[in-house]
Structure formats: C-alpha cells, structure tokens
Structure 1
C-alpha cells in the first residue's frame, strides 16, 4: 500500500453497519464526502452527524441487492459485527470497482488511518491494523508535543514569501527556514505571542 490524500468532496461513501464502529467511520468521512449509513439499527453516536441513514437488514440482502446499493459509490466500509458479511461486501466491491475498507474480516484495499489535523496540516498514522494502540499513542503525542504547529506553518509561509523577495538562492532560503524551525525561543514565543515570534525570526535570520 502507498499513502494518498484524496479530495472526497461530492464523492459517495457507504458505511455498512450502524453500530459504534460504523459511527466512527461515518464521522471520519462526513465532513467532506456524501455519507450513507446502511443498517437495521443506528447507534446514538450517529446523532448530529451529517449523514444519510438507510434502514436495511444487510444479512437478508442478496448479492444483487447489495450490488444495487453500491452503484455510484466511490468507497464502501464494511463495519458490521459479522466478518463473513463484511467479506461478502468486499468481494462485491471488487467486482463493482468500489474502493473498500473492512473493519473486521479480510483486509480491503483501503486503510482508514488515525489522523492528527490542524488548520494548516494533516498527518495520517497507520500500523496496518497491527496495533491501534500505537496509532493512538502517536496521535496523542503529536497533538501534545506540536500544539503550536499551525502557527509555525503560518510563520514559515510568511517568512518564505519574504525570502523570495530578498534571497535569490533557494538553498539559502531553505537553510534559513530550517533554522527558524529549530529555534527554541521562536517556538516558545509562538505559544503566546505570534508577533514576537515573527519579530525574532526576521531579526535573527532575515536581517543577519
């Protein structure tokens, strides 16, 4: 597998199973994709999510009926508690050319990662399903240790624009930006005073 980041705006994502697992998967996609959760019952965790609900007893549906549901879908997630049902949905997805994630059963062709998200960055973490605890650990450490990363990205973007006007050598621009990134005092200032951090960066690395 290789990591990719996809724009799912307007794409149709199906979640088969309306329990707690299905609700977590729906929450992952609902900010961008058009999500439909298909199940005979629905977890309260789905309340408040911008998703469609379609009531159906999946175990009673024929392959033809499941295939009809898959028509037009970009990605499907099998999140039922029945691995054999999940696997059947996966086989139908393969036949229909629909990307597939399996919450329990044979692996699909898509892994849904643990995500650390800021307003200016996105980090995806996966252990290929071997250790969800490690994925959670890395996510919580990144969130705690790099709480001001959005501000650093903003500062880097601003200084980079300034450097394009004053420093013709790309290699030197890269060295300056790297020094700013590693400057402990600038990073500390970002936590409370962006203006001071900006002034330090300009004074130390643009006017040196």
Structure 2
C-alpha cells in the first residue's frame, strides 16, 4: 500500500467516524424530541435510512435535513411497528417470568415452544425496521416479510444478532461511548447486514 492509498484509507475512516458521531447525536436528540417513548422508533428508523443512503452511494445531502424528514415521514408507521414488537416482547417477558417462578412442573415442550416463539420474535426485531426503510408496504407485510427474510437468510439474521450483542456489551462495559457511537454503530451494522439481502432481492 503506497502513501496515497494510506491517506485515502485514513480519510475514509475519519469520514465514517464523523458520520457515526453525527448520527448518534441526532439519534439521541430526536429520540428525546419524541419524549423518548414516541421518539425512539422513528429516530432509529431515520438513522437506518441515512445509513442506507450512504450504502447506496449518496454523499452530497444534508444529514440534518434528511434525518428530520425521514423522522417525520415515518413517525407513525415506525411507532406502530416498533410498539407492536415491544408489546410482543413484553408478553414474552411476562411468560418467561411465569415459567421461572411457577412451582408447577412443565412438560418439556412448554419451554421448548417458548424458545421457538422467542426465535421468531428475534426475526421481527432484526428485520422490520430495515424493511420499513427500504420498502413501502403495510405494517402487516413488514411483519410477515421479516419472518420470511429472517428464515431464508439465517446467516444475516445471526450476523445482525451478533451486532446487537457486541454493541450492547461494549456500551455496558464502556458507557462513555454511548453518546458518540452506540446507536450509530448498531444502525450501521444492522443496515449493512440487511442491505446485502435487499440488494439480491432488488436484482431479481
């Protein structure tokens, strides 16, 4: 690698670091702009949308304006999908607590069935918002397609799960990175993984 290539690589690295810091700050700002509960899913959707534009090769656009427009445009749809998934997660958590605290002996298939349902829940969690960013359809089809794509592209589902785990782990171990990188790093890895599948579908 010659000097020019080194400079080019460093320039690209610093450019992405700057981008990720900007996205993370915007994610925090717009999450709280929606009073946290109503802001977290639209803000996450907007972060994924900006990452998608960069993956498509778009460069010359205002990050602030694009983020704000996507946040507003997908506000209701993102909240419907996000809180549907959150509601399912809450029900699963309650069932898990019942299984843990119950003195009744469950048959083997009860905890087995729970983990099967948990797996399908992970498919919804990992795929719904990237689908919302890339395709336009009804919220029901987002849920259905999330399961189909998650099952037929299990290696990317596992990769996304790995991103979730690593970002969560390092954010808890080193909380100082949260204001600058946690959400944006997750969005970048999450959208990149999903985008590999979307590219194949769009070519068909």
When the two structures are superposed, what TM-score results if normalisation uses the length of structure 1? Answer: 0.25
Q: Which has the higher contact order (CA 8 A, sep 6+)?
A: 2
Greater Rg by CA: 1
Greater fraction of residues in strand = 1
Greater fraction of residues in helix = 2
